Amino acid sequence: MEPADWTNEPDLEAIRAILLAAKAADGRPEVAESGPLPREFEGGLHLLEREAASQRAVGYVHLDTEGDSYGRQIAELVVHPEHRRHGVGTALARALDERAAEGYRAWSHGDHPGAAAVAAKLGLERRRELLILHVDVEGADWPEPVLREGVKLRTFVPGQDEQAMIDVNARAFDWHPEQGALTVEDLLDEERQDWFDPAGFFLAENADGEVVGFHWTKVHEPVPGRFGGEPVGEVYVVGVNPATQGGGLGKALTLAGLRYLRGRGLRQVILYVEGDNAPALAVYGKLGFTRFETDVQYGK
């Protein structure tokens, strides 16, 4: 089998079939039976590997050519579960290594040992760890949020609060390779997703009515074999204007979101955090979160 040519006009049906098969086996990615592909597979370049006889797609690579906030091209590589350990991943990874710009990064979700083996063949090293933390809601001690004088919480109003949220996000995540690049257009795209719920999107305002922080929660639909097949809440993004940090606003926003997710009857909550973000890990540890999985970016 040889990979086909890179294209910016992907075979969406073939790609979706691979992603759905991977989701059934691994619990990820979050892809639906219809509609647009997840955002990490949009745009850029696409490469499929097919069986010679049947022309069935057995592997897929997406290369984000625009790159992250640091200009690094980012790749996602998925092999159909029925065709793993047969050289498909290695062939696609070599094709990616030849095509991608210098300094590219490739994700391994769940820190799969097969991905580590392929990375070693290409001379790629672990460059970033994104941790997935998890907490059981039952028994968690999440008190009422305490806000400094003049600060109040309210929920997000679609059509009104997009720019204010993006402004805070840009300041809070100017260091982050993905989150810092979020635009109003990206936010509007998210608002059109079935999971979006403004009731779980909290904004903090100061005495002047200025948005100075936010906590955006998310609820994931059940996936067989993952989290016991139950829906799971997520601390999706917590952002605070750096000029207002130091007064416990981040913790207050986090507690507001956690209590909201608990109020929805969810029994589990997850979040993603950079593996080298020691202050955030300390805060989440005190709230009962423990390490669940690790996503790794490989690069040269």
Annotated binding site: 33, 77-79, 85-90, 178, 218, 234, 238-240, 245-251, 272
Cβ atoms within 10 Å of 259's Cβ, excluding its own: 16
C-alpha angle with apex 169: 242 to 216, nearest 5 degrees?
Answer: 110
Residue 58 backbone phi and psi in degrees, to 5: -120, -10
Q: d(Cα 43, Cα 76) in Å, to the nearest integer? A: 12
Beta partners for 153?
204
Q: Are 269 and 235 in contact (CB under 8 A)?
A: yes
Question: CA distances (Å), 260 to each of 134, 135, 143, 153, in order?
Answer: 16, 15, 12, 13
Distance, CA of 57 to CA of 48 (rounded, Å): 6
DSSP designation for 94:
H
Q: From the annotation, which residues make up the binding site for acetyl-CoA? A: 77-79, 85-90, 238-240, 245-251
* Residue 220, both tokens: 């994931």
Query: Strands across the sheet with 152-155, in order?
Result: 45-50, 57-64, 74-79, 105-108, 290-299, 125-136, 268-274, 232-240, 211-220, 201-205, 152-155
Angstrom distance (rounded) from CA 160 to CA 105: 36
Amino acid at 46: H
